[in-house]
């Protein structure tokens, strides 16, 4: 009976020793990786910006293709009017979206304001959104 008691006491001390070693090892790993957290967060936010930028470029190309195949384009300050698929359509801001009426084509989201301008024979779009401001050529007049 005395031998069982000694074995249980040793087992308890060994478990406590293992728990202490596990705890110290965990703290060491956390302190090792803690300085890397800001770098990882910056990297992930950069990735998000790159993805949004790529999406904006894709949407811009789709808009250019639509306007390239359209008949006449009229430039107004806050909208474009053009012919597409046998119908007169308007590219306008609706809430936080830039979309085509009539229809369900949404080209940009998170739009705060949009302005169109004709510079010589080119149509420029100035877009302000949550991610900042940018300008791009969306098509040609005529």
C-alpha–C-alpha distance, residues 60 and 62, integer Å: 5
Strands 122-129 and 111-119, sheet pairing: antiparallel
pLDDT at site 46: 65
pLDDT at site 104: 75
C-alpha–C-alpha distance, residues 138 and 79, integer Å: 12
Write down the pTM of the prediction.
0.58
Averaged pLDDT in 10-residue chunks for the chain of 142 residues: 53 66 88 80 64 76 83 85 85 87 80 89 86 82 70
């Amino acid at each position: 009976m005395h031998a069982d008691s000694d074995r249980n006491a040793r087992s308890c001390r060994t478990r406590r020793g293992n728990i202490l070693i596990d705890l110290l090892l965990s703290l060491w790993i956390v302190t090792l990786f803690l300085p890397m957290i800001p770098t990882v967060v910056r990297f992930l936010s950069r990735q998000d910006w790159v993805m949004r930028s790529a999406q904006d470029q894709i949407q811009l190309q789709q808009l250019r293709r639509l306007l390239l195949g359209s008949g006449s384009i009229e430039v107004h300050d806050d909208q474009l009017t053009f012919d597409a698929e046998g119908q007169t359509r308007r590219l306008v801001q609706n809430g936080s979206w830039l979309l085509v009426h009539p229809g369900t084509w949404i080209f940009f989201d998170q739009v705060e304001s949009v302005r169109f301008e004709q510079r010589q024979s080119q149509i420029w779009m100035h877009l302000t959104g949550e991610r900042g401001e940018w300008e791009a050529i969306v098509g040609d007049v005529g």
